[in-house]
């Protein structure tokens, strides 16, 4: 996890917003400027603000974000820390003009090894994303042995809590897509593949 959050500035007792590497309207039509304004600008900002308040004066003050997510008890602090981590990974994995439309290098090799092909991986990931009941996340992660896994996490859950390293995450909370797709979660999931920056995802491997 050493380089997972290079774009998240962490100071003592002060978690801050990750800086978007693209303009707010750059991901259109997949993700609209309005959705970015609400999802990133309001939802994530609220998680960051709330987390800063919750860690103040606790044993988690001054700890890095991954430490808080892994070690804090379930409840408000965990929910907000998980969502700050989730959304940081989420927003930084996109690129309006990615260099590749599918994984390359070691990531491609690992996907072919563990899922059979990129298309089979996409099918499994789409199923995980669309079949998760209620709010949550679908993740591609790697375990300590180097094997890739797809997991479904409810609410603000992150696979780091299970000893896995998250590589790619799809947010299936309604606020991530409802302004653009209404109740058509599957269409939203299908569209996301066109803006994944596979170099970023592989860098997390």
Residue ranges at the known binding site for Mn(2+): 39, 87, 171, 175
Give 133: exposed, middle or buried? Use CB within 10 Å, 0-12, 13-18, 19+. Answer: exposed
* Residues β-bridged to residue 152: 138
Rounded to whole angstroms, the Cα distance separating 12 from 101 reads 39
- Residues comprising the binding site? 39, 87, 171, 175
- Packed helices 76-92 and 45-55: angle between N→C axes, nearest 10 degrees: 140
What is the Cα–Cα distance from 136 to 198, expressed in whole angstroms?
Answer: 22
CA-CA distance, 163 to 144, in Å (whole number)?
Answer: 8
């Amino acid at each position: 996890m050493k380089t997972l959050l290079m774009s998240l500035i962490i100071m003592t007792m002060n978690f801050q917003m990750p800086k978007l590497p693209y303009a707010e309207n750059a991901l259109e039509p997949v993700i609209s400027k309005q959705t970015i304004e609400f999802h990133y600008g309001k939802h994530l900002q609220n998680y960051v603000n709330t987390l800063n308040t919750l860690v103040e004066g606790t044993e988690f003050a001054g700890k890095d974000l991954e430490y808080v997510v892994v070690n804090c008890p379930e409840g408000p602090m965990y929910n907000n820390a998980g969502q700050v981590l989730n959304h940081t990974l989420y927003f930084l994995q996109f690129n309006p003009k990615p260099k590749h439309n599918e994984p390359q290098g070691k990531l491609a090799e690992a996907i072919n090894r563990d899922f059979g092909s990129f298309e089979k991986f996409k099918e499994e990931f789409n199923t995980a994303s669309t079949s998760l009941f209620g709010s949550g996340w679908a993740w591609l992660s790697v375990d300590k042995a180097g094997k890739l896994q797809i997991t479904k996490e409810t609410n603000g859950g992150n696979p780091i809590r299970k000893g896995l390293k998250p590589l790619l995450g799809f947010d299936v909370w309604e606020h991530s897509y409802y302004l653009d797709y209404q109740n058509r979660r599957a269409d939203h999931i299908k569209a996301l593949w066109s803006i994944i920056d596979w170099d970023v995802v592989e860098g997390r491997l």
